[in-house]
């Protein structure tokens, strides 16, 4: 008995020594005798950066639909369902065409130069408070969804390490290598004037004249209320139905740009990826002859769904929620005002 116990104990000791010598790197021999060389595994855990040329990307893939679900569960609480952001959390989608304006909206879509940064950032730092909890495939799917919510890919898009370099962010070209050494340094290296530099000093404007101090809020509110009151007083009984205003129709034409890749309306409109929309207002669903509708649409036609304001608005705001399994690959309008304007445009352009 004793002998057996003695033997197994020494075996244990033996294996313990073995484990130690395998996993712990030798202590630093040079320098101050502090610390030790990092293990390859330790370096690998830190070395997770992904470069614009794709170096560092792990193998994996994920599609927009999977990404949307992951996004809703992990990200939308702060960044909004479509990346529009809740409250003051960062906006992730949109902002195109605003970079030259006074109030640029710098998002992943409008501003970031490289998709690799998006992958790296999400993988490294998000979800905020639970960083590095996502698998590589989940990160691919979420990045695919971020591309989709920026209108850069279609909803059947799948991102993987293989097609990663094929997708480009629109603002890439506006970034360039740091050239300050050649461009700026010479400007600031010239001898600087320290005395009597400007011939005469003139006052060009005064703060009071420039109106830099905003009026107090209460004054503003009172003025606004007055305007509303005046408007109310001058408003007569509403005129008989005269149809949508030209402004609304124009706004609708603009908003209809989100639909044009699939739908035509107006003279000569034909079916494309989606049915032509002439006469759609107050028509029974699945109205276009010769268009192959989904079974979901055949069903609502049989049920007698009529495209009145309410039905159109509900469908356009949330196509998949309103009509499950329908095939319109459009995620929905963000703003009910756009639905109203588009309906006005469809009525004006496509007849009623």
**Token digits for 143?**
């990045």
CA–CA dist 46, 59 (Å, integer): 18
CA–CA dist 230, 38 (Å, integer): 76
Cβ of residue 76: shortest distance to ligand HEC, in angstroms? 8
> Do residues 187 and 179 lie in contact, with contact meaning Cβ atoms separated by under 8 Å?
no
Cβ of residue 177: shortest distance to ligand HEC, in angstroms? 22
Cβ-proximal residues to 232 (8 Å cutoff; 6+ apart), any chain: none
CA–CA dist 299, 11 (Å, integer): 74
**Of the two residues 273 and 302, which places its CB atom closer to ligand HEC in the complex?**
273
Residue found by looking up tokens 């107090």 in the block: 216
**Of the two residues 94 and 274, which places its CB atom closer to ligand HEC in the complex?**
274
Cβ of residue 297: shortest distance to ligand HEC, in angstroms? 4
Burial of 21 (0-12, 13-18, 19+ CB in 10 A): exposed
Cβ of residue 239: shortest distance to ligand HEC, in angstroms? 28
**Of the two residues 51 and 124, which places its CB atom closer to ligand HEC in the complex?**
124
Report cis status (omega within 30 of 0) of the bond before 164.
no
**Of the two residues 13 and 151, which places its CB atom closer to ligand HEC in the complex?**
151
**Of the two residues 144 and 288, which places its CB atom closer to ligand HEC in the complex?**
288
Cβ of residue 92: shortest distance to ligand HEC, in angstroms? 5
CA–CA dist 332, 316 (Å, integer): 5
Cβ of residue 255: shortest distance to ligand HEC, in angstroms? 7
Binding interface with ligand HEC (CB under 6 A): 74-75, 77-79, 89-90, 92, 107-108, 118, 121-122, 126-129, 142, 258-259, 261-263, 273-275, 277, 280, 285-288, 293-294, 296-297, 307, 312, 316, 326-330, 333, 342
**Token digits for 348?**
């004006």
**Of the two residues 239 and 295, which places its CB atom closer to ligand HEC in the complex?**
295
């Amino acid at each position: 008995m004793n002998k057996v116990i003695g033997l197994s104990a020494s075996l244990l000791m033996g294996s313990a020594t073995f484990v130690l010598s395998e996993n712990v790197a030798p202590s630093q021999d040079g320098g101050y005798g502090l610390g030790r060389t990092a293990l390859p595994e330790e370096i690998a855990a830190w070395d997770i950066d992904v470069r614009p040329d794709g170096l560092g990307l792990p193998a994996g893939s994920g599609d927009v639909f999977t990404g949307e679900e992951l996004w809703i569960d992990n990200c939308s609480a702060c960044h909004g369902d479509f990346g529009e952001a809740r409250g003051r959390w960062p906006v992730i989608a949109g902002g195109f065409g605003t970079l030259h304006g006074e109030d640029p909206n710098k998002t992943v879509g409008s501003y970031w130069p490289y998709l690799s940064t998006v992958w790296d950032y999400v993988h490294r730092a998000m979800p905020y408070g639970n960083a590095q909890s996502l698998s590589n495939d989940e990160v691919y799917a979420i990045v695919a969804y971020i591309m989709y919510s920026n209108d850069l890919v279609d909803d059947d898009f799948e991102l993987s390490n293989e097609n990663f370099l094929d997708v480009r962010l629109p603002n890439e070209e506006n970034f360039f290598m740091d050239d300050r050494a050649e461009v700026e340094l010479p400007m600031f290296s010239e001898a600087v004037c320290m005395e009597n530099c400007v011939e005469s000093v003139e006052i060009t404007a005064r703060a009071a004249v420039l109106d830099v101090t905003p009026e107090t809020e209460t004054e503003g509110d009172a003025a606004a209320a007055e305007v509303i009151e005046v408007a109310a007083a001058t408003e007569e009984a509403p005129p008989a139905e005269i149809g949508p205003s030209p402004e609304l129709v124009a706004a609708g034409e603009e908003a209809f740009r989100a639909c044009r890749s699939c739908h035509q309306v107006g003279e000569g409109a034909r079916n494309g990826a989606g049915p032509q929309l002439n006469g759609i207002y107050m028509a029974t669903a699945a109205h276009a002859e010769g268009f192959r509708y989904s079974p979901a649409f055949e069903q609502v036609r049989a049920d007698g769904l009529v495209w009145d304001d309410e039905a159109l608005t509900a469908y356009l705001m949330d196509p998949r929620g309103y009509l499950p399994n329908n095939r319109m690959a459009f995620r929905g309008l963000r703003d009910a005002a756009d639905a109203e304007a588009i309906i006005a445009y469809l009525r004006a352009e496509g007849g009623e």
